[in-house]
């Protein structure tokens, strides 16, 4: 037990080193982690570390989904709900069907049920890779919103397809009417359970005497409770976590204290970062175990099958995204759509951002070894190899070429970035106006007696005058002045830190007090960098 724990400690050190290398190479860290894990797999340094499907599904998946739901904008999610749901449900099913018939035609002896099983495994794209790359190349916000929204739901639909196909192979029975009814029941009841448990946690947050530490602990318990109870009754644990996470995220300003929000964001970002790092490295480490077990065909033949299925997946997704764009232009004549003319460039990039990840590999590994005590599961090892090849091809090839594709197609959103900066100025102006109005209308008498309130009021008036000028003349000159202001302010904060460290060298000053003011300077820098225009 201790040796395995030490191996994981070493693994985390390697993950950190590889992520720093990815930063130096300006490459998305999931790609570097998978390739790094692949290189480590040939050294046999970590023989005891393998992917356990139950570990991935129950330990890793709920918190990662919950964090993604917590970071998702409900407003953006609702705005693009038709595109998101179409790619999360109908198009996942279409992709599964295409893969099913392609593998049935390509692989000798492969049944249609096995094809649907493979389709359910490889159909859901992994959003972590796509969003990481898109942030590096400053992809349009609309594209990010759709990719993130799709990632919250597509795992659920693909795992449901996988579950039905697996049941059909094991039992030898499949009825379409029962499957369709069960499909909707699994989706609806998973969502209901997630919302119900979310409401329970809402009540705990709202009416019980919690502290920031307790709030963070509860935020870790919530996704596991949602996932467990949904899966316990054979419904979708993925949708339970997503639904409950979106509910609590929309109420965060009510249920959490300011300390819980600040501390929870920092804790969750760190935990999510490590969990993602571990699962991507495990994908690469799993290669020798998968290759060693191939028996049905030669390794070269299995690789060829994997490459063909990868091409089928890429083409199918791009056709679906372009088809969805054409369908949107047609439907704008009958209903109101979020974007009446999506064109072809952004849908093509969205289609190219269809990298597969750890959920696909965990699903493949969860296939039972035996159907009956004396009957092996057919083509299990071949499905594992094909899945790994698909992940490797889509993640590395599409991941490395996605920035190039975006640059070639000139998919940028500079006008939206300027609009966002202008909105930010208006928001800050509104906050300042509200604060000044509160002081002057509600606390006018107190201002006469309290010099600090007078100073605060004067500062707000000065800020308001600056914001009004910047909003009225929002152009390159005003932005350059703001950049200069932020640069000087950041240098000033560095000087404050130096002064505090100088005071800390003197014996008479309490170090805890110095640290308190250093933290306040750090918070001021955080706030400044959040609103800085670059």
Q: Does the CA dihedral 233-238-239-241 come out positive or negative?
A: positive
Which pLDDT value is given to residue 444? Answer: 64
Helix ranges (H only) for 80-211 are 81-88, 90-106, 112-122, 127-136, 141-171, 176-207
Contact 108, 298 (CB under 8 A): no
Which pLDDT value is given to residue 294? Answer: 66
Contact 243, 191 (CB under 8 A): yes
d(CA 335, CA 518): 55
* Domain covering 2-412 assigned CATH 2.40.37.10 in the classification: no
> Any idea which residue has 């499949």 for tokens?
174
Contact 89, 153 (CB under 8 A): yes
DSSP string, 429-468: HHHHHHHHHHHHHHSHHHHHH-HHHHHHHHHHHHHHHHHH
Would you give per-residue pLDDT tens digits along the chain (534 residues)? 567 778 888 888 999 999 999 888 888 888 888 888 888 888 877 766 777 777 777 888 899 888 888 888 777 888 888 888 888 888 888 999 999 999 999 998 888 888 989 998 998 887 677 777 777 767 777 888 888 888 778 877 887 888 888 877 877 666 666 667 777 888 889 999 999 999 999 999 989 988 889 999 999 999 999 999 998 998 888 889 989 998 998 888 888 887 888 788 888 888 888 888 888 888 888 776 776 666 667 778 888 999 999 999 999 999 999 988 888 887 777 777 767 777 888 889 888 888 888 788 788 888 887 777 777 788 888 888 899 899 889 988 988 888 888 888 877 665 555 566 666 677 777 777 787 787 777 666 665 667 777 777 777 777 777 766 666 555 555 567 667 777 887 888 888 888 888 888 888 777 778 877 888 888 778 777 766 555
CA distances from 525 to 262, 501, 530, 531 (A): 15, 17, 8, 10
Which pLDDT value is given to residue 341? Answer: 78
All structural domains of the chain with their residue ranges: 2-412, 415-474, 479-534
Contact 509, 503 (CB under 8 A): yes
Which pLDDT value is given to residue 493? Answer: 83
d(CA 94, CA 99): 9
Q: Tell me, letter by letter, the H, E, C secondary structure of 239-277.
A: HHHHHHHHHHHHCHHHHCCHHHHHHHHHHHHHHHHHHHH
Residues 6+ apart with CB under 8 A from 313: 95, 99, 122, 123, 354, 356, 390, 394
d(CA 19, CA 31): 10
Which pLDDT value is given to residue 313? Answer: 94
Residues 6+ apart with CB under 8 A from 306: 385, 386, 387, 388, 389, 390, 393
Contact 399, 355 (CB under 8 A): yes
The one-character DSSP state at 371 is E
CA distances from 451 to 211, 284, 358, 440 (A): 34, 64, 60, 14
d(CA 121, CA 363): 6
Residues 6+ apart with CB under 8 A from 496: 521
The one-character DSSP state at 55 is I
Model pTM? Answer: 0.80
Residues 6+ apart with CB under 8 A from 157: 88, 89, 92, 93, 124, 187
d(CA 429, CA 468): 7
Q: Decide: helix, strand or coil at residue 221.
A: helix
> Any idea which residue has 């998101």 for tokens?
84
The one-character DSSP state at 230 is H
Give the dihedral of Cα atoms 177, 362, 191, 169; nearest 10 deg: 10
Q: Chain centroid to CA 245: how far?
A: 13
Contact 334, 106 (CB under 8 A): no
List the one residue out of 191, 153, 157 whose CA is nearest residue 77.
153
The one-character DSSP state at 366 is T
Give the dihedral of Cα atoms 362, 364, 369, 371; nearest 10 deg: 120
d(CA 32, CA 221): 31
């Amino acid at each position: 037990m201790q040796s395995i724990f030490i191996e994981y400690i070493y693994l985390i050190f390697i993950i950190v080193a590889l992520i720093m290398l990815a930063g130096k190479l300006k490459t998305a860290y999931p790609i570097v982690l998978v390739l790094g894990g692949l290189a480590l797999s040939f050294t046999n340094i970590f023989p005891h570390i393998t992917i356990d499907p139950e570990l991935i599904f129950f330990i890793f998946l709920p918190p990662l989904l919950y964090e993604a739901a917590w970071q998702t904008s409900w407003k953006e999610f609702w705005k693009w709900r038709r595109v998101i749901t179409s790619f999360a449900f109908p198009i996942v099913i279409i992709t599964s069907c295409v893969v099913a018939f392609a593998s049935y035609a390509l692989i000798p002896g492969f049944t249609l049920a096995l094809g649907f099983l493979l389709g359910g495994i490889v159909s859901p794209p992994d959003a972590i890779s796509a969003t990481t790359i898109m942030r590096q190349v400053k992809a349009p916000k609309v594209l990010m919103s759709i990719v993130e929204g799709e990632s919250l739901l597509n795992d659920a639909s693909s795992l449901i397809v996988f579950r039905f196909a697996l049941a059909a192979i094991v039992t030898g029975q499949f009825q379409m009417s029962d499957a369709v009814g069960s499909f909707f029941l699994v989706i609806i009841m998973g969502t209901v359970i997630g919302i119900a448990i979310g409401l329970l946690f809402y009540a705990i947050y709202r009416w019980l005497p919690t502290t920031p530490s307790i709030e963070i602990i509860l935020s870790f318990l919530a996704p596991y409770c949602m996932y467990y109870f949904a899966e316990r009754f054979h419904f979708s644990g993925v949708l339970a976590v997503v639904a409950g996470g979106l509910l609590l995220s929309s109420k965060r300003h009510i249920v959490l204290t300011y300390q819980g929000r600040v501390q929870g964001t920092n804790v969750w970002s760190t935990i999510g970062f490590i969990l993602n790092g571990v699962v991507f490295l495990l994908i690469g480490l799993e290669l020798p175990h998968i290759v060693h077990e191939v028996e049905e065909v030669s390794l070269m033949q299995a690789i060829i099958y994997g490459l063909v299925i990868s091409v089928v997946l890429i083409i199918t997704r791009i056709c679906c995204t372009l088809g969805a764009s054409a369908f949107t232009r047609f439907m704008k004549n009958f209903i109101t759509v979020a974007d009446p003319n999506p064109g072809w460039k952004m849908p093509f990039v969205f289609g190219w951002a269809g990298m597969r990840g750890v959920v696909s590999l965990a699903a493949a590994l969860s296939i039972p070894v035996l159907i009956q005590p004396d009957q092996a599961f057919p083509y299990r090892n071949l499905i594992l190899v094909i899945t790994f090849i698909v992940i490797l091809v889509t993640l590395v090839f599409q991941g490395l070429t996605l920035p190039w594709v975006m640059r070639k197609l000139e998919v940028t959103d500079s006008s939206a970035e300027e609009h966002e900066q202008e909105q930010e100025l208006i928001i800050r102006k509104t906050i300042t106006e509200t604060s000044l109005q509160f002081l002057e209308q509600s606390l006018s008498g107190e201002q006469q007696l309290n010099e600090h309130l007078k100073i605060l009021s004067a500062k707000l008036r000065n800020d308001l005058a600056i914001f009004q000028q910047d909003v009225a003349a929002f152009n390159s000159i005003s932005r350059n002045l703001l950049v200069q202001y932020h640069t000087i302010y950041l240098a000033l904060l560095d000087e404050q830190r130096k002064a505090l460290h100088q005071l800390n060298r003197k014996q008479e000053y309490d170090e805890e007090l110095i640290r308190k003011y250093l933290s306040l300077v750090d918070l001021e820098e955080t706030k400044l960098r959040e609103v800085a225009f670059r």
